[in-house]
């Protein structure tokens, strides 16, 4: 069972969404000071990169 490029991009998108959600959750619930804003910003960045990976499916 081989994985083609679209399957790899789909898995990368899924993993990055999970990591982004966990970073936003850490920023919201674990760290209530300035570090929480940083965790949330990095989580939103992971969402942006996952969006690009999702848009690349079928084009690469």
Q: How far apart are CA 54 and CA 60, in angstroms?
A: 11
Cα 49 to Cα 5, 31, 45: the distances in Å are 17, 24, 6
Tell which residue, 15, 11, 4, 9, has the closest CA to residue 53: 9
* Section 16-38 average pLDDT: 92
pLDDT band for position 20 (cuts 50, 70, 90): very high
Q: ∠ CA(56), CA(42), CA(31), 5° rounding?
A: 150
Predicted confidence at residue 2, as pLDDT, reads 79
| pLDDT given for residue 42 in this prediction | 94
Q: pLDDT value at position 49?
A: 93
Output the furthest CA–CA distance in the chain (Å, rounded).
Answer: 47
């Amino acid at each position: 069972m081989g994985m083609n490029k679209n399957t790899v991009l789909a898995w990368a998108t899924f993993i990055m969404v999970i990591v982004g959600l966990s970073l936003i959750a850490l920023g919201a619930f674990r760290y209530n000071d300035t570090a929480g804003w940083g965790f949330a910003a990095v989580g939103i960045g992971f969402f942006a990169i996952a969006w690009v990976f999702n848009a690349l499916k079928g084009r690469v």
